[in-house]
Amino acid sequence: MQVDQRKSRVLYESLINGQVVNEFIFKDSSLMPNFLYEELISNFDRYYRELYANIGFELVLQQSFAYIRSIEPDETQNDTVRKVLGLLLVLGRGVTELGFQFELLTDPDVGISSEILKQIEQGEDKQEVLAACELKGGLVSNMEKLLGKKNIAFQNAKGNWVLSDAGKAFFAELFDKKMAEVAD
Amino acid sequence: MDTLFQQIDTCPDLYAIRQLIFVNSAAYAYTEIRVDQHTALFGRNNLGKTSMLNALKLFLLPEENFKMCDRKFGFRSKTGDSYSTQESFNYYFPDQNSFILLEAENLYGPFCILLHQGRKDFSYARIVVPCAYEKIRHLFWDFAADCNEGLGAPIETLSLSSIQKTLHAQGGGQQLKYASVSIRSYASDVEKIRRSLERYVRQNARQRLQYNAIETAFYELLQAAKSLQDGSLKNNVLRSDEPVFQRGQMFSGLRAVRYSSRLEWHGHDQRLYFAEFLRVRVDQLRQQNKVPRVAELDAESEHFERHQQYRKETIRELVRVWVSPDDCNDLHKVLHHYLQQALPDYQLVDLLEAMKWCVAEKSLQLKPVFRQRVIEHEGFELMYYMRALEPAYAS
């Protein structure tokens, strides 16, 4: 398949600014295939992997999302991991602890409202974890600043937060590992 | 909660409800029902067999009254009609000498919870006594009496105050006091346990696995965060290479967001148009100002330094020879007019210099007037607060 220059440019803008490219995006009140991800997958081996390698980045392709990282790792490499992991776990723990099903976080028609987010961040244990992961300013603002801007979560038509493919992939891995532990 | 359930699994006898006792309650003068062993309840319809067991809810739920009892307890008749607040309350606590007791056991040993009428409408209160029911059994029923075919008789002097007094005397007073104070926290504990139980009942295997996986990961992170704290809350940020962050390696190296928005060029020539526009416009703006705003001075040269000193001295001399007016509302203005005539190449910055010398050289008394004025001179503006000159006779 021919490389689409316009899509390639948009892809670059997105990746270079630290965003993940998800398999599906939320558009017109529903999830639909992301044409950028399709473009990336179609020409991954033939073009994009080499393109980004030439300018010093590794194009990381996960189960249902992609992003780039520097080929030469530096100290700040894991700073984002700390924040994203802290935020996702506080979110997941808060939602399940309040008695909601986990699917509340992944269903694009439902999502988690800012009222629930505020309720979650009241917990002392949550605040402790947020502080330890250097997430200042509470849960609501960090949802937007971190997960929203990086495309790990999005806001649905109601304004509620829903996990995108990248966010879902994190929890899917967590559940798979737990299942393997239980099976052992 | 996991630990609680593990304990229940491994030592099922540690937490157990032993029996329920009704005294002047639920249509009985006195009844003991074992619930930790097989018990058969015989009786015709509508005698209160189900409602006796329903009383367990009064102990397990964190409620304090019968208001909206349909929603809280769901007491219903066989036909499905719910019982009203009044009906339910009168059934379980018909008078002040009605008691319902629960004997149970936990890690610390056997204990009893006594429910009795509360002070408010339709309310009931709890007393917790840290002993087996056997030890306080004699307070509620006279087993030695010969009447009722050897079943015993009610105690004539039975009352809440007499029971409280006896329990005090038996050393349960401390516990009673504690119980009344801690009802709130007890209720919240019960609420937590109830929620967890409810969740465990409702969740299917997949949901339980999800819940446990998130709980485990969260507690790992929480433990790592707790281990950081040395009493102070400062600098308690986890290092990025902590083992606990291994879980999030799928995001390893994800770049920080540099900026959120960018200038969109709709066509490839637009950037050039914009550059050309800027060049022309800046030229126009430059020409509009007759006097260049920035004086090109070589601030570091010796000549510049000397020039500045010379200028200061000139101004100082001019101020010294200047005859200040007797009465003046606006010293800036008067001095401005004087310097315009006296000083060649006069600029507004010289006025500020002159104002300083007025105070230092001539010792003029200046009185601030809180009105703002602006002096314009050769394209520059000086905004200042007016200074009035004190007349010589005033000082």
Interface test with A, best of B201, B255, B268 (most A CBs within 10 A): B255
Contacts of B231 (CB under 8 A, 6+ apart): none
| Cβ contact, residue pair B209, A175, below 8 Å | yes
Q: Is A69 on the interface with B (CB under 8 A)?
A: yes
Percentage of residues in chain B having pLDDT higher than 90: 9
CB contact burial B26-50 (16+ within 10 A = b; e otherwise): beeebbbbebeeeeeeeeeeeebee
Which two structure tokens, joined as six digits, stand for B320? 């010294």
| pLDDT value of residue A3 | 87
pLDDT bucket at B395, cuts 50 / 70 / 90:
very low
| Cβ contact, residue pair A58, B238, below 8 Å | no
Contacts of A77 (CB under 8 A, 6+ apart): A69, A70, B240, B252, B253
Q: What is the pTM of this model?
A: 0.49
Contacts of B123 (CB under 8 A, 6+ apart): B64, B65, B66, B117
The minimal CB distance from B253 to the residues A19, A69, A177 is found for: A69
**Chain B environment of A170 (Cβ under 8 Å):** 248, 250-251
Distance from CA of A73 to the nearest CA of B (A): 7
| pLDDT value of residue B267 | 65
**How far, in Å, CA of B226 to CA of A74, rounded?**
27
Q: Which of residues 128-167 of A touch B (CB under 8 A)?
A: 128-129, 131-134, 149-150, 166
Region B84-100: what's the mean pLDDT?
90
CA distances in angstroms from A93 to A84, B6, B217, listed in the order given: 14, 21, 9
pLDDT bucket at B1, cuts 50 / 70 / 90:
very low
Distance from CA of A44 to the nearest CA of B (A): 19
| Cβ contact, residue pair B254, A86, below 8 Å | no
- Containing H/E element for A58? strand A57-61
Region B108-113: what's the mean pLDDT?
83
**Chain A environment of B194 (Cβ under 8 Å):** none
Q: Is A67 on the interface with B (CB under 8 A)?
A: yes
**Strand, helix or coil at B40?**
coil
| Cβ contact, residue pair B250, A177, below 8 Å | no
**Strand, helix or coil at A162?**
strand
Mean pLDDT of chain A: 90
**Chain A environment of B209 (Cβ under 8 Å):** 175, 178-179, 182
- Only one residue has tokens 């304990």, namely B7
Q: Where are the alpha helices (DSSP H) in B172-255?
A: 173-181, 183-202, 205-228
Count CB atoms within 10 A of the CB of residue A82.
Answer: 24
Closest CA to A179 of B262, B177, B216, B39: B216
- Only one residue has tokens 């719910």, namely B82
The minimal CB distance from B221 to the residues A19, A69, A129 is found for: A129
**How far, in Å, CA of B263 to CA of B269, rounded?**
14
**How far, in Å, CA of B357 to CA of B317, rounded?**
9
Q: What is the pLDDT of residues B302-361, one digit of tens each?
A: 777 888 888 889 999 998 888 888 778 888 888 999 999 888 888 888 998 898 888 887
**Chain B environment of A10 (Cβ under 8 Å):** none
| pLDDT at B13 exceeding the cut of 60 | no
| Cβ contact, residue pair B221, A166, below 8 Å | no
**How far, in Å, CA of B18 to CA of B11, rounded?**
16
The minimal CB distance from B253 to the residues A70, A149, A174 is found for: A70
In contact, B8 and B15? CB cutoff 8 Å: yes
Decide if the complex's ipTM is over 0.85: yes
Size of interface A-B (CB pairs under 8 A): 145
Closest CA to A178 of B201, B198, B206: B206
**Chain B environment of A17 (Cβ under 8 Å):** 255, 257-259
Count CB atoms within 10 A of the CB of residue B345.
Answer: 7
In contact, B126 and B179? CB cutoff 8 Å: yes
Poorest-pLDDT segment among A55-69, B210-224, B369-383? B369-383
pLDDT bucket at A152, cuts 50 / 70 / 90:
very high
Percentage of residues in chain B having pLDDT higher than 70: 82
Q: What is the pLDDT of residues A17-35, one digit of tens each?
A: 889 999 999 988 889 999 9
The minimal CB distance from B222 to the residues A85, A129, A182 is found for: A129
Region B74-100: what's the mean pLDDT?
86
Region B218-239: what's the mean pLDDT?
76
Closest CA to B55 of B89, B16, B104, B15: B89
Mean pLDDT of chain B: 79
| Cβ contact, residue pair B215, A96, below 8 Å | yes
Poorest-pLDDT segment among A52-61, A143-152, B288-297? B288-297
pLDDT bucket at A76, cuts 50 / 70 / 90:
low
**Strand, helix or coil at A107?**
coil
pLDDT bucket at A108, cuts 50 / 70 / 90:
very high
| Cβ contact, residue pair B258, A18, below 8 Å | yes
Beta bridge partners of B82: B76
Contacts 24+ apart (CB under 8 A), B89-94: B89/B122, B91/B25, B91/B26, B91/B27, B91/B51, B92/B25, B92/B26, B92/B55, B92/B58, B92/B124, B93/B25, B93/B117, B93/B124, B94/B24, B94/B25
| Cβ contact, residue pair A150, B257, below 8 Å | yes
E strand intervals along chain B: 16-25, 28-34, 99-106, 109-117, 124-129, 366-377, 380-389
β-strand A65-70 against A57-61: which pairing, if any?
antiparallel
The minimal CB distance from B214 to the residues A70, A89, A99 is found for: A89
**Chain B environment of A96 (Cβ under 8 Å):** 210-211, 214-215
| pLDDT value of residue B19 | 92
**Chain A environment of B199 (Cβ under 8 Å):** 99
Top pLDDT among B189 and B245 is at B245
The minimal CB distance from B238 to the residues A92, A133, A182 is found for: A133
In contact, A83 and A135? CB cutoff 8 Å: yes
The minimal CB distance from A17 to the residues B211, B218, B258 is found for: B258
